[in-house]
Amino acid sequence: MAKTSSSPSVLEPQCPSRLVLDRIADKWTALVIQILARGTMRYAELQRAIGGISQKMLTQTLRSLERDGLVQRKVHPVVPPKVEYSLTKLGRTLIEPLHALCRWSEKHLHELQGNRARAKAVAAPESFRG
């Protein structure tokens, strides 16, 4: 079947689907989705659960995910304000593919580390050749 020019393709340089891919392929997005797959959470709970994410990066990631309709932010009218984050219906469609990517990363970690170490060992002597 021939591909029509109106069909989105991440392989096309000007296709907006690249922006979507950029959003969902981001490390912090994958981690936020993984954590929120467990259920609704407050900001501080998310930050603790992820570990290593700065307040600025978590805020930017949550705002982007909310703007894209993947995360819902609910503000409860209490003092102090209580804000909770949860996945939207669309956001929940990312759980399975991102879970698979995270598991793949864990499963192949040692192979990748070994390959990097070998590549570094090979490159090191070359750097002395000048």
What does the alpha-carbon distance between residue 99 and residue 102 come to, in Å, rounded to a whole number? 5
The structural domains of the chain, ordered by start, are 17-127 (1.10.10.10)
Q: Across the beta sheet with 41-42, what order do the strands follow?
A: 41-42, 82-87, 71-76
| Residue pLDDT, tens place only, 70-127 | 999 999 999 988 999 999 999 999 999 999 999 999 999 999 999 999 998 888 776 6
Whole-number Å distance between alpha carbons of 82 and 96: 29
- Per-residue DSSP letter, 7: S
Which residue's entry shows tokens 């950029």?
22
Whole-model pTM?
0.81
3-state helix, strand, coil in the chain (%, to 5): 60, 10, 30
- Position 36 scores a pLDDT of 98
Per-residue model confidence as pLDDT tens digits over 19-58: 888 888 899 999 999 999 999 999 999 999 999 999 999 9
